[in-house]
Amino acid sequence: MNDFYLKASDWDQDPMHVKRSLSVANGIMEAIPHPGDMAALEYGSGTGITSFFLKDHFREITMMDNSPGMVNVMKENILKSSVPNLKAVLFNLEKDQWEGSMFDIIITQMVLHHISDYQNILKIFSSILNPEGYIAIADLYSEDGSFHGEGFNGHNGFDLGRLSSEICSLGFDIISANKCFSIDKEIPEAGIKRFDLFLLIARKMNK
């Protein structure tokens, strides 16, 4: 049982999670023109807060996570809200090959820094995107490791310039890449530290 399974039931009660998701959703809506006919995937969606903010703007949204606890909360929220264009899927793109439908946009929020081989997941995203589809990545700028602390095996954020270059090398054009949110977090022996998040949106070039 992983940490996210244990956190799932209380995740939506944290006002920061809601504010962060709203900021990301607003940034996506400002950058993506006419998304009404698009099929979206939110990968690592947690309880699906961002997708719920976006539900009235996309034709359909698949909320995908590899935590059964998070997926259960998503399914409960869909039932409570009677939302017809959202669906929750338990799936791990890092381990299994997706054989479902293609997507017009893939959204991730605070997910990429948890993925060891993030370059590979970016390739997988590209492979399940329709021509001229989008990726929207919200994550941490490079930091000193204090955000997660000792024992964390992922990445301590990203250099936005380097990440942008890696994404462009996969055949994308960067549409926008800007700061979208800040998190103030209590760090042992250091007090309150501020960590900034970027929102990078790129479009797959039609080849």
Local confidence band at 9 (pLDDT 50, 70, 90 cut-offs): very low
What pLDDT score does 10 carry? 57
Q: How far is CA 188 from CA 30, 54, 177, in A?
A: 37, 36, 31
pLDDT at 124 over 60: yes
Q: Which fold has domain 3-204?
A: Rossmann fold (3.40.50)
Task: Report the pLDDT value the prediction gives residue 3, as an integer from 0 to 100.
Answer: 44
Average pLDDT on 120-138 reads 97
pLDDT of residue 5: 37
From the list 47, 200, 26, the residue with the least C-alpha distance to 125 is 200
Confidence of residue 52 (pLDDT cuts 50, 70, 90): very high
Q: Which tokens is 29 given?
A: 């809506």
Query: What percentage of the chain exceeds 90 in pLDDT?
Result: 86
pLDDT of 184 > 60? The answer is: yes
Residue 200 pairs in a beta bridge with 137, 177
- Residue ranges covered by each domain of the chain: 3-204
Q: What CA–CA distances, in Å, run from 3 to 7, 95, 135, 186?
A: 6, 19, 27, 19
pTM: 0.92
> Is the model's pLDDT at 150 over the cut of 60?
yes
Where would I find the H helices in the chain? 3-7, 15-31, 49-54, 68-81, 118-127, 160-168
Residue 122: pLDDT band (50, 70, 90) is very high
